[in-house]
Amino acid sequence: MIPETLADADQKMGKSVEALKRELGGVRTGRATPSLVEHLVVDYYDTPTPLKQLASISVPEARLIVIQPWDRTAMQAIEKAILKSDVGMTPSNDGQVIRLSVPPLTEDRRKEMVKVVRKRVEEGRNAVRNVRTHALEALRKMESNKEMSQDDLKRASDQVQKLHDKHILTIEDLGKAKEAEVMRV
């Protein structure tokens, strides 16, 4: 029972780290990446559809995103979704593809983006802490139901704490790397 609880906690903490990676991938750094726009939801024939299901997204240059819809009739809807979003880019449509030019970030905007990164990193830390709390509660419940001894509870709690520390360190490293990437000119 203890190994399952530890494995479950490790898996959930890992998923929290992966979610943070995805979120940080969508933070603008002055360089073009598909993750800046692939999460956008397009109103395609009155159905909210993720952009990555409607088009191929490529980055041929460091400051250019090219979106090639599989259905040409979706061009207008994709453009509207980009304009409504908070990506801060204006689409350019040539009838075949939509081009998004990624403007360089100003110093003030970089500082704002660092704040966003820090906020998301803190949310990631909180998610890992919540998993730790639930795992410890489950272990305490097993101990109170006489399914394990106090010594086993202590050892298992230490293992949960080690898992927590490992994932928090990973989150810290991700946050520092993303901050450095955002501040790089």
**Does residue 160 carry a pLDDT above 80?**
yes
Say which range, 27-31, 39-43, 142-146, has the weakest mean pLDDT: 27-31
E strands, the chain, where? 41-44, 47-50, 55-61, 64-69, 91-93, 98-101
| pLDDT tens digits, one per residue of 43-85 | 988 889 998 899 999 999 888 999 999 988 889 899 999 888 8
Closest CA to 120 of 185, 174, 182: 174
pLDDT band at 185 (very low <50, low <70, confident <90, very high): low
Which residue has 């009838």 as its token pair? 95
**pLDDT at residue 135, as a whole number:** 94
* Pairing of β 98-101 and β 64-69: antiparallel
**pLDDT at residue 27, as a whole number:** 76
Q: Tokens for 165, please give them.
A: 């520390």
**Average pLDDT score over residue span 106-126:** 90
| Residue 51 contacts residue 67 (beta carbons within 8 Å) | yes
**Does residue 89 carry a pLDDT above 90?**
no
Percent of the chain at pLDDT > 90 equals 50
- What would the DSSP string read from start to end of 12-45? HHHHHHHHHHHHHHTS--SS--GGGTTT-EEEET
- Round to whole Å and give the CA distance between 13 and 11: 5
Instruction: List domains and CATH numbers for the chain.
Output: 2-26+106-183 (1.10.132.20), 34-101 (3.30.1360.40)
* Pairing of β 64-69 and β 55-61: antiparallel
Cut 0.85: pTM above it: no
Calculate the average pLDDT of the chain: 89
| pLDDT tens digits, one per residue of 1-37 | 888 999 999 999 999 999 999 888 877 777 778 888 8
**Average pLDDT score over residue span 86-96:** 83
